[in-house]
Chains A and B, each alone.
Chain A
Amino acid sequence: MKLSSQRFGELQIREEKIITFPEGLIGLPDLKRFAILEHDGDGPLNWLLSIDEPEIAFIIIDPTVFLGEYKVELSKVDVEKLQLEDDTETAIFTLVVIPENPEEMTANTKGPLVINVPAMLGHQVIQDNPAYQIKHRILRAQASAKGKQPAKKSQPQAKQLARAAL
């Protein structure tokens, strides 16, 4: 599929790399199809490009990168929407907001995106866990997670999903 956006220019996205969120994101129901794009270079942040609205791209991060451990609780309804079986491979990302001072960037750990990888099906779920926050300070959390569990160096799930997206 051919797309063009100011940010990324002309893009050719392979159909099998498109992740469908049947309900869109919370408050953004029209954004239903996305592709993960890697940026140049290595690092845990990636783009989640809206196929429906190519001028919109979210920044995503695997929350285990800064929390060490991140547990998502899914309701029965979430599991059904995502068509998950016991052993379905999933990927979990959180949306990042980068303010003027990038050191203050936050991730929404209260509303993670869960993806059924083989079906390329996604859903944004709400987490009631009080440890998670709408504006979870990434660098602060990473600093305090130090020593508990080593943070991952990279984000293999995003890489896998993004690889050959173009």
Chain B
Amino acid sequence: MLVLTRKIDESIIIGDNIKITVVDVRNDQVKLGIDAPREIPVHREEIYLEIQEENRRAAAQRMADLGEISKLLSNKENDQ
């Protein structure tokens, strides 16, 4: 991994069109500004990890009676 040291307001450039700037550093938190074209998705790593975890949880479910459970939803609809 490439490790660079930057001060506040200094940036790094990735490729031709992604610029990451250190906006602020306070205690153990770093605030980053990201300039990237709209087509480049930028996400916090946590959200990937959380979705990954939730996908695995969703994959590990046992047999469920969807007919019965669906009734919970339709009952609520009928209450309207």
Contact = CB atoms under 8 A, between A and B. Distances in A.
A102 B69 contact: yes
A39 B68 CA distance: 10
Contacts of B39: 75-77
Contacts of A138: 73
Counting contact residues on chain B (CB < 8 A from A), the size range is: 20 to 34
A31 B52 CA distance: 13
Interface stretch (B5-13, B27-35, B55-63): B55-63
B66 A43 contact: yes
A47 B43 contact: no
Nearest to A102: B69
Interface in B65-80: 65-74, 76-77, 79-80
A41 interface: yes
Nearest to A55: B59
Contact of A126 (B43, B65, B73, B80): B43
Interface residues of A, number: 49
Given A43-B66, A97-B61, A77 B76 contact: no
Nearest to A28: B55
B16 interface: no
B51 A27 contact: yes
A59 B64 contact: yes
Given A95-B55, A102-B72, A46 B66 contact: yes
A77 B58 contact: no
A153 B50 CA distance: 30
B66 A25 contact: no
Contact of B73 (A31, A44, A47): A44
B59 A56 contact: yes
Contact of A43 (B41, B53, B58, B67): B67
A98 to B, nearest CB: 5
Contacts of A77: 39-41
A81 to B, nearest CB: 11
A45 B43 contact: no
A134 B55 CA distance: 10
Nearest to A47: B66
Interface of B: 38-41, 43, 47-48, 50-59, 61, 63-74, 76-77, 79-80
The 6 closest A-B pairs by CB, nearest first: A43-B70, A27-B52, A76-B39, A41-B67, A39-B66, A111-B51
